[in-house]
Structure 1
């Protein structure tokens, strides 16, 4: 890696840390942040680590009006030997640039981004929680900052990284969640921005999520936007089904985000010689498998929750209770294996873990 030069300005007043056994997801933030600017004709410049602080933007900044922004999410873990580990961070930086391309945002230097991330984590390493189920969540993001109300891509941007000590994403922790199948609203369509990690995808999901929460469900299962029958994602995660011994996940089709955890699960399953396929699968096929007693497990995958077992689907006024509403053995094995690799307690046969 190149010898990148990053200006470092440390805070003179550190924050009071939260109790690590009482962490909520995404509520607390560390003492410092990374910022880098982009100016058309100059490129990315002035990389710096500064005290965590509000950012000042012109009210006409393009990000506010046309949503030109992308983000990523990954985690850092502190091992019993006081080593800081990252899980496949190169894949997150690669995907960030893929999102940039879709949103007409200039490409970043992935090596510089990773170097800056490591520097920031090293400075704020005492914010990494060590209790089981906790980690340091990392949020890199890019916003369009040019003040301009014409519909066009910005000439100026900021790339920012912030850090947050977190506990479990769902209040259920690693226990099965209940999912409502969404039949009215659409998250994304092929040709849109569904395969980019951009704010608009999440804003469009809020209405359905709000209604599902009121009905007692943790998340929604998204169906395709054209025929409203093919399964895409569950909430902000990819989804897997175990049907009659075979694991099935929806194939990437332009409207499904290519999850790093999704890819890792597929590799793990193949490593274990568990049959796994990526293909189009409909909610009707899931319903039929359930009626035939063949739907053995379902689980979501993502950075925040890692593996989230699903205990129930609600579709067309019918409750589909999976595995008696209990966590399945494959979901448990995947969760234990992935989190073990991530926190350094289990072997990493794939070379996924990166030391800071």
Structure 2
């Protein structure tokens, strides 16, 4: 009897060690799921790093403050029993799926949390996320657009998506020898491990849609700045004056028309006779004008709908319905 108990104890210890070793590594909170419903991909940026008896909970990026590279790490210990893990002062039931860890609370077994395993990058698969710059065509299973990384913290949509509010925050951080790309889409923020980054192609693992890859392909730069230099005025006056609000006191009717005068690195915008001078630039693909000092505000950028020697049609951010296209004509 005593020999049987000793063997049973050894068996339990070996089983516990085996389960513990399977837990070791980096896990990403992919989604939650209630029984009978579809998975809920919340876009959480939460990692679980289990190393021996220690567990690190990593919360990535503070989109409220704009500090995307901010990392908060909480350290604790965990204890494992028979299909139960003691974590965050809670007893959670767990099972293993294919490259996943599935958790549920004993008091609410109808809802599960699914953590996907993340593999440490090898020298053959490691990336250089510093190569991200310029304009790209980005596509995934249900998304396609063109974007431009105008600096190391701001990207701007230049295609058909997010036309009204096209500017987003982005960043890169490294953990566990993995480069993670952080992106705030305005209504949801997400992150994705960079699996390849060359001069022309960037690939990300789509953590929220397993087995789907996010691809970005470099777009050749287009220079159109010289076409914009000069003065452009809204018009022709006869067709739009009746649509404008009543004139301000002592403002000639011609000054009620919007006017833009582009210089090499600055533009003066006249709206209802009031001038505003801003720095301006073009996205690398030549599709959108932006004003870096107010880029996240209304009229912080304008998508170029048409540009010829004499016509400049823009859809300004925050006011970009098709009927709101700003039609400017060269006057100088």
**Could you say which structure has the larger radius of gyration?**
2
Instruction: Please give the range of the TM-score, normalised by the shorter of the 2 chains.
Output: under 0.3
Name the one with the larger strand percent. Answer: 2
TM-score, scaled to structure 2: 0.22
TM-score, scaled to structure 1: 0.21
Name the one with the larger helix percent. Answer: 1
Compare relative contact order (CA 8 Å, sep 6+) and give the higher one, 1 or 2: 1
